[in-house]
Amino acid sequence: MKLSYHGHAVVMIETDSHQILIDPFISGNEACDLDAQTVEPDVILLTHGHNDHVGDTIDIAKRTNALIVAPNELADYMSGRGLNAHPMHIGGKHQFDFGTVKLTQAFHGSAYTEENGSSIYTGMPAGILLTVEGKTIYHVGDTGLFSDLKLIGEMNDIDIAFVPIGDNFTMGPEDALIASKWINAKVVVPIHYNTFPLIEQDGEAFAKQVNPGKGQVMAIGEPMQV
């Protein structure tokens, strides 16, 4: 299995049979190396409805018929747009043909802004526990620090965790270090930083402070074998 990071909160997982894309904010994301017109995911996983996470989901799914897995209200919105969407909710788990998805809580907001400026409520935000090919990947989603991250770490043998460090809208580096300790993943990768001036952070400095050997900054588009 191959993982790659594509700026902001965009993560791609490539297995022997599926390409899975998380929060495909591609257009308007200067850090992203993907092309929304050519990327071919089988599955799109969404943490919440903010435009910098839904990103190009609608256009990609229309073109590829990718399955969208998202929190209930966001999935309902996608279904209303004629897309193939599977609704889930926090604490729920489902076995798909590509792997198992479980949603965790995340303390944030969730609304999708239409082109006319109107906002659509898209339910509660979430983190994503994805178990595939014997590995567990935790995309923490947009969240502040909360103590149940320790429980999530105790209940799951997490191989790699993608943790936001940008501050202002999510955890900053200090809180993310505490979260990383609690999650206790074998590898911790910082995300959701340096996309905009307001969330500029030093990812390398953060990674060096994570438990020795566990922190790793992933270069944009560079694959990691898991």
Whether the CB-CB separation of 130 and 100 falls below 8 Å is answered with yes
pLDDT at 212: 85
DSSP string, 129-168: EEEETTEEEEE--S----THHHHHHHH---SEEEEE---S
Q: Could you tell me the two tokens for 19?
A: 């390409």
pLDDT average per 10 residues of sequence, the chain (226 residues):
98 97 97 97 98 98 98 98 98 98 98 95 98 98 98 98 98 98 98 97 98 94 92
In the chain the domains, ranked by start, together with CATH numbers, are 2-225 (3.60.15.10)
Listed in sequence order, the residues at least 6 apart from 108 whose beta carbon sits closer than 8 Å to its beta carbon are 48, 125, 141, 142, 143, 144, 169, 170
pTM of the predicted model over 0.95 = yes
| Residue 84 to residue 165: CA distance in whole angstroms | 32
| Residue 113 to residue 51: CA distance in whole angstroms | 7
